[in-house]
Structure 1
């Protein structure tokens, strides 16, 4: 007959090394994760800055486009008036 399996509560050097390795790996993993999060936050900040700059440029282009459109509309009106005046002059002087 076999003897029952007994659990021994004594610690040996292998247990200490295993615990030290697990704690070291956990600390290293936490530091690495923290560095990755900081890098990710930096990248997000850079992307947000670039997006804000792009929005500012687009808004500026919209203002310029609106001014240009107003100038073109003014020129179109002026050309229409000139055409009307030329038609009137051609009718008077056949």
Structure 2
């Protein structure tokens, strides 16, 4: 289980910057680190068709495995864990779909 990271707007990162600080201001001070390869991180979880379907897409007529965008709906826990891991690794910017 990954360590817990408080990512609320009242939290400062290691450099003392709040998440709500404008990127344009922060990028003037230092290089910002983006998150990494989301697809690779998702693959590490070895998710199955049922993970992509969830309850919401159980009757969908096509295969959904590999449609990673659906995981924000069907497995938000996995997506949150991946984002937390990137933050713990030092990412400043987390991309979303």
The TM-score normalised by the length of structure 1 is: 0.21
Question: Taking structure 2 as the reference length, what is the TM-score of the superposition?
Answer: 0.20
> Which has the bigger relative contact order, CA under 8 A and spacing at least 6?
2
Larger Rg: 1
